[in-house]
Amino acid sequence: MKFSANLGFLWTERPLPDAIRAAKAAGFDAVECHWPYDTPVDAVNDALQETGLPMLGLNTVRGAPGENGLTALPGRETEARAAIDQAIAYAVATRTRAIHVMAGNASGPKARAMFLDNLRYARAACPDDILLLIEPLNRHDAPHYFLRTTDQASDLLAELNDPGVKMMFDCYHVARTEGDVVIRLEALLPFIGHIQFAAVPDRGVPDQGELNYPFVFKRITALGWTRPLGAEYRPGNETDQTLGWLRAAKAGA
């Protein structure tokens, strides 16, 4: 089984290029990030080339404090598309494989229509080898976020009917809002483009909490999933001191 280090949460005390190197040293197979735009592309590419790790994903910007994205916000189309263009440019320059298009805090039919229109814009603007991702966020951490459930996400994906747009299935978010993580993974597999995980309910290190990740990982493997799983947890300590779960998972692979 392969794992990706989400550098939005792991090794955040280090500059992004050094965090990439730390992920390699720790035994990760890939990296992903949130908002890398303040880091020069050349520095990121040097670290990726040095380590041989692929960059799996990055996010469109959040917008103003409290917005949590722009893509579903009515009346913000120009800013949303500028954020999409920014993400595409950075992804192309760093050979990043996917872009999480953040919806933002909105609700209602106008927000839904805006989200779909902007996703269509993003797909038209994006190279075919870069996947677009949408992610339901749980109601506890993001109570006003537009995209809240896997059912809502799969309905939107069915309407888009575009293989270049998939769901980011975060086991933590799904467990907090919906439960039945493994059952939902099995049912939604055709819609899923990336899988992330963290402990439930505190989003901490995945070797504790309510969700039995050794079992979840085995089920994911049984489903035929071969791409790296994204470790997007809050370490609550120095990241290197929290990686017993990674060593155990690799030993059991």
Question: Would you name the residues annotated as active-site residues?
Answer: 135, 232
List the alpha helices (DSSP H) in 73-131: 77-94, 109-125
Tokens of residue 220, six digits: 């994911």
Which of 141, 140, 123 minimizes the C-alpha distance to 132? 123
Dihedral sign, Cα of residue 221, residue 224, residue 226, residue 231:
negative
Tell me how far apart the 2 most distant CA atoms of the chain are, in Å: 51
Q: 16-26 and 41-51 helices cross at what angle (nearest 10)?
A: 10
Residues in contact with 211: Cβ distance below 8 Å, sequence separation at least 6, in sequence order = 171, 172, 175, 181, 197, 199, 200
Kindly state the DSSP code that residue 14 receives in the 8-state scheme: S
